[in-house]
Every structure is written in structure tokens, then in C-alpha cells.
Structure 1
Amino acid sequence: MDLHLLFDNLSNPAVLFFFLGIIAVQLKSDLKIPENSSKFISLYLLLSIGFKGGQELSHSEFDMEIIWSLLFGILLAVVVPVYTYFILRRKFSVANSGAIAAAYGSVSAVTFVTAISFLELEQMDFSGHMVAVMALMEAPSIMVGLLLISYFNKDKDETKVSTKTVLHHSLTNGSVLLIIGSLFIGLLASDAQAEGIKPFTTDLFKGFLAVFLLDMGITSGKKLSTFIKKGWFALVFAIIIPIVNGIIVAIVSGLFVTETGDRLLFSILAASASYIAVPAAMKLAAPKASPGLYIPMALAITFPFNITLGMPLYLFIIQSF
């Protein structure tokens, strides 16, 4: 692996602020980001990346690469939950296995945003339609996870929420709705209109990302100590599965994707795990699944791994193939 990529990523101010958050927890500091501010920043990041993706898409030709990319994203969101479910069933209940599988089949918008920051640092281009790919991967994985729980659950009364309700909830989830809506707004906006709000959507982006990752570091640090008590299996799964998914997709995506930046984003989407949309859906539809298991796995283990070591690793694989 090219060590300068690893150093560039680990010395990225946004990533360093993430580690600062973890250190603050270990030192028992009272440092924290107000909840309302944290919510605003997360909404801002989704709005900004969606709008910029729409702008990029408006300047792109709608060709077969875009179609294949969208289909490949949906395929990943279906295949990953299915195969990971059977691995998870070796140690966990049906409900927990389905919830964790859904989380790892879905995506982390914050990891995606951090990957874009990494690409900008390395001065690599990426396509606007990758934002649409990310948005499309949320709902299918949730549905597959719930279908697996429903099919293998011996107590058929455990999941009483209708499929229609879950589908509606996953599609109208705030993060999904905002990024899709922002994508379409960016697609419709003219260059002059986009330029008018560029100081907000672009110039402030890296600063807000740094503050948000500081908050994520604090949250991860709090969940890490509790998660370690869950045992080795969950810890190994939360590291190995992202590596496997990320490396396979880094290689396979080269069959129909030409841009290196797009291939890295695909790898990150395959390797990341949802800790926002999936928990919200599982709380509603699979109450017996433990949030104390699938949220720390995604947020305290997989997320830090991907934004520190994962991105340089996947980029190295892409450049090697």
C-alpha cells in the first residue's frame, strides 16, 4: 500500500477531530456537541452532498455506466444482507442477525461524505450519480433484513408491522428523503443558481464535517467500552466483513466503472454500515433486535475502520487492478 495515502488520510483534520472525540471520552471530559447543533450539521452535510451530486449529474450524459451503477448498488443492498445473515446466525438470534445484516447491507451517509472529502484531498474526480446510488441502497437492505427475520422467525407474531409500513418508513426516513430531494434540486438548478449558494454548499463543507466527526468520535467512544463486552465474534465481524465487501467491490466495479473515484465510493458503500436509517426502521419493525449490538458494531467499529484504514486500502486495491 502507498503509505502516503494512509498518512494523508490519517492526517486529514476531519479524521483527527474524530480521534479527538474518542480521546475526550477516554479522559472523561465534558466536551460535547449540543444535540440540536449535531442534527443541524448532519442535515447540512446530506443537503450539501445531495445538491452537489445533482449538479454533477446535470452535467453528465445518462449512459449505460450510470444504469449499471444504479443496478449494481441495488444488487449489493440485496446480496450483502442475505449472505451476512447466515454468518451471523452462528452466534446471534434471528432478530439480531436480520438487523445486523440489514445494517451492513445498507450504507453510512457520513462514511460516504468522508470518502468524498478524501477524494478531494487526493484530487480525484467522482460522478454525481454516485449520490443516487447511495440513496437507492437504503431501502432494499432494510426490506431484505426484515424479510429474513419474518421467514426464519418461529414466532410469527413477533413482527406485526406490515411490509408496506416498513417500506414507507424506510423511504421517508429523514436522511434518505433529504439526500434524494437535494439531488433533484441540484439537478434542476442552473449553474448561476448553484453558484449563488456555493459559499454555503461548498465552502463551509469541510469545517462542518470536522465538527460532525468530532461528535461522531464522542458518540463512538461512549459506545466502544460497552460493545467490547459483547464478545469477540461481533468485533471480528465488524472489521472483516467490511474488508471483504470493500475489496471484492473494488475489483468487480472495474468491469463497468471507469472513474477511480467512483470505484472507491462503491467500495465504501459496500463496506459501510448504517447506524441511522436501519436502527430507526428496526426499532419499529423488529423490536426484539438489540440496538446495543448493531449500532455499536456499525458506529464504534466499522465506521472508524473505514474512515482511517479502509479508504486507503480500497484505493490501493483499485489502483492495483
Structure 2
Amino acid sequence: MTTPWQGRIDQPQQGDTLRWHQVVQPLAAPATPGIALLGLVSDEGVRRNGGRPGAAQGPDVIRAAASNLPVWHRGPLYDAGDVVCAGGDLETAQSEYAARIAALLDGRHFPLGLGGGHEIAYPSYLGLIDHLGRRARRVGIVNFDAHFDLRAQALPSSGTPFLQILDHALRHGHDVLYMCLGVSTAANTRHLFSTAESRGVRYLQDEQLAPWALESARQFLAQWLGEVDVVYMSLCLDVLPQSVAPGVSAPNARGVGIETLEALVDVVLSTGKVVVADIAELSPPHDRDAATARVAARLLHRIAGAAHFATTTCVTR
């Protein structure tokens, strides 16, 4: 079976010459805490949301794009495999993915999710909540996205996960705050903005994230992060301009520059509160010259380099 983990080998094959494909290991229990990549192979959420299919190919394409990344992270790097959405049964796939995220957190790993559509967000949250159990934690969710993903639909989709999260938190008494950065007025109806306001969602629009407004955005985000205990961070690649990230379900005519995105991602990571993260919406069939896959790999590399695992932030049962 062909593996996506292939790439350049520099001499000597040790120390500071190593690349991800040379150090990544299949995850097998028990394992020393480390970064654990977990894919959700799914197009079903995008299909239900009326988007362009292709995201199911995302996880392995991200792995291939990440293979040649130089090793800058600390600790082990694991490939925890994929959860596959079979026969359109998204709900079962999400349930399995949530269980896998909870198990990784229980093992004191840092789960890094690979999408797939943004339907990855709801089970990422469920896995975190299952891991936290009855311990009182204020959970902050930071979503870099052109869309709120607060749609109310008959069936869950890639457009519904954060409304599902807020509804779940309300039903079960969990303390959850949601922030969305990069929201586009051209991609969200007035109803979605009203929903965000009524549900206490904090957000900044793409126009508010121009380079000259970066310091203000940093302060806004840092203040909000100070109010939460643990963070789940999600990066939807359609927050970036189409010129940078063409390979997504819904290309973005404006977007947030990658320089601004990386600076704000760094603000989130610098808190040490991020315990689970994912990258969503890579659609390889629409990706010119694998440009979006390379961006996804770069962001993955950045997150991994700042990952905290085996810390007291996580709660081991």
C-alpha cells in the first residue's frame, strides 16, 4: 500500500537534517505523549451544504504536502490514521472521530485534525468535552473562517458545526465561548450575523483584519483568550484569499492575508491553552499546483512547532 509519507532525505540521516516523513510513526498504545495527526475523510458535510465535493481527499494530500517539512517540533510525531465517512453516514463518522479525539487527549497527546470538510469541528469539540468530563473548564473555540458555520439545517453539514456546538453546550451546561475571525459579509446572510449576535459570538470581519489593523486584532484576541481555560482552534482554509488557497469548497474573493493569519494563530498558540486543533476544507481536485495543500502544510508545521502536550492543561482520567 502506498504511503503519503515520502520525501527528500538529507545526509547525515539524523538530528537537524530530519524531515517529517523520517520521524512520523503509526500510533500504537501505549505511546509517549506527542503530536497525533488524525484525519476525517469526509465529503458528506460539504455535499449536504451544497459545496464543491473533494474534501475527502484532503487528509492524505496534507500528509503528502507535510512529508518534506523539516522537524522543528519537540517530542514524537504520530499518524493516528483516519476516520472514514462511509455511505454518507456522517453522524457515525463524527461519533467515531469524537471518541478518537477523546482517547488521544486521555493519552496526553496533542490531536491535530486533518480535513475533510468543516464537519470535523463538531466531533473535535465533542471529543474535548468528553475528555474534560466533569472538570469545570471554560472552553474557548477560535475559528479562522470566512463563514460563521452557524446554519440551522435539517441535517448536520459543514455549515452547521458551531451552532451544533453552542446548542450542545447549552443543553449540557458547558461553559463555551466562540470566536470567529475572518468573517465575510459576502459569505454570510444577515440572519447568520443575527444568529452570531444572539448567541454571544465574538468576531472580526475580514475587512477588520487588514495588515494595518493587526495590532488592534491582536489585542482583541488576546483579551478574549484571557477569559478561557482551554482552547480548540480550527482553521478553515477558505479564510484565505482564492489566490493563496484556490483548493477549497468555497473560494474566497477577498480573505485574510496569510501574514495576518499566521500572526493571529501565533497569538492563540502563545497562550499554551490550545489542546486540540484542526485544518479543514482542503479540496485537492480544485487545488492548482497543490498551492492550498502547501499552505495547509505550512500552517500544520506552525501549529506543531508550538504544540503543548503532556501538560496540566489536559485532564487525565
Which bracket does the TM-score occupy, shorter chain normalised? Answer: under 0.3
Structure with more contact order per residue of length (Cα contacts < 8 Å, sep ≥ 6):
1
Q: Could you state the TM-score of these two structures normalised by the residue count of structure 2?
A: 0.28
Q: TM-score, normalised by structure 1?
A: 0.28
Which structure has the highest helix share of the two? 1
Larger proportion of strand: 2
